[in-house]
Amino acid sequence: MKAFIKIFRFFPPETAHHLALLSLKILNKVRILKLFFPDNKDFDNPKEYFNLKFRNTLGVAAGLDKNGDYVDELESLGFGFVELGTVTPKPQEGNQKPRVFRYLNQQAVVNRLGFNNKGVNYLVSKIKNKKYDAVIGVNIGANKKSTNDQRIEDYVFCFEKVYKYCDYVTVNISSPNTPKLRKLHNPDELEKIFKRINEIKTTNQTDIPVFLKISPDEGEETILKIVNIYETLKINGLIVSNTSIDKDILEGCSHEGGISGKPLLKKSNQLLKRIHGLDKDIFLVGVGGVFTKEDYENKITLGASLVQIYTGFIFEGPAIVKKILSR
């Protein structure tokens, strides 16, 4: 697997991403993937939250599989849950290429993808046919061309489309690559989104958990407001955090976009610790900069019940799952 990772680095990052996932699909189809990962039951450490049984507490963050094309392959690697998306009502190409940049020495990535995806209907068609029997989340967002009011409708539209076919939904208001999206951290805007979502849940008698994914770049005032309205808006959990646009955390950063990978670890952990300190009853999912077992365990210590990885998976490959979960 390490040889494959080295080969993929000869390709542009976005091309390498697609080739790596396609390789997993091919290896799974011809049943070779199981030769590399023969028995992932060793990774099982079941936890139950929201009446959902997680086989373990390490999951895939949104962005790795935007359209639900690789669910079964990711499950084969031993993850406890997979979050798909971000998905929008209409398909969209995202921002202009090149839009993903590696910083190999710092084990970091800068991306300005911009919610490129095939649209919510495509994703639903894929998860309807999945073989994966563990927990599936869907991360929902707004189309780039939508106005502010239309963006509220985008979240509602996506939620209505996906909630019957997944185990939890994440409202993503924190991508830095869709203009003005982060303004939705405003409590008034959040109330509009969650009021509509909660009405749908009540009408359809579903208790599907809905998480909110937040930015690591928000100030103390915004974080306090989110913590204060968490229970009122019936938010079930916070995913902490998305990528950062703070170039100070990545030495030599020369690109605009969201920074992920090792440089994000400290900042995402600080926010995780802060929120847990403010309200220990808030359900937290820790993500950002996880490369090692120690990184994973630190997230748990700081208050996370679940942990997600993405950039660490890109740099380390599928072996990172065993590296983190082996006892």
CA 81 – CA 61 distance, rounded (Å): 9
pTM of the model: 0.97
Angle (CA) 10-11-13 rounded to 5° is 120
pLDDT digits (tens, 9 = 90+) for 267-325: 999 999 999 999 999 999 999 999 999 999 999 999 999 999 999 999 999 999 999 99
**What is the CA 80 to chain-centroid distance, rounded?**
14
129-150 pLDDT, tens per residue?
888 778 999 999 999 999 988 9
**Which residues are CB-contacts of 150 (< 8 A; sequence separation ≥ 6)?**
142, 143
Assign 3-state DSSP to the chain and report helix, strand, coil percentages, each to 5: 40, 20, 40
- Looking at residue 44, its pLDDT comes to 84
Residue 298: predicted pLDDT: 98
Q: Which residues contact 130 (CB under 8 A, 6 or more apart)?
A: 68, 71, 72, 136
Q: Where are the domains of the chain?
A: 2-325
Q: Does the annotation count 175 as an active-site position?
A: yes
pLDDT of residue 1: 60
Mean pLDDT by 10 residues, the chain (327 residues): 78 95 89 70 87 96 98 91 98 98 98 98 94 90 94 98 98 97 97 98 98 98 98 98 98 98 98 98 98 98 98 95 90
Instruction: State the Cα–Cα distance between residues 127 and 58, nearest whole angstrom.
Output: 20
Provide the pLDDT for residue 39: 61
pLDDT of residue 162: 98
Cβ atoms within 10 A of the Cβ of 52, count? 16
By the 8 A CB rule, do 291 and 107 touch?
yes
Write the class of the CATH domain 2-325: alpha beta
Catalytic residue among 76, 175, 241, 244: 175
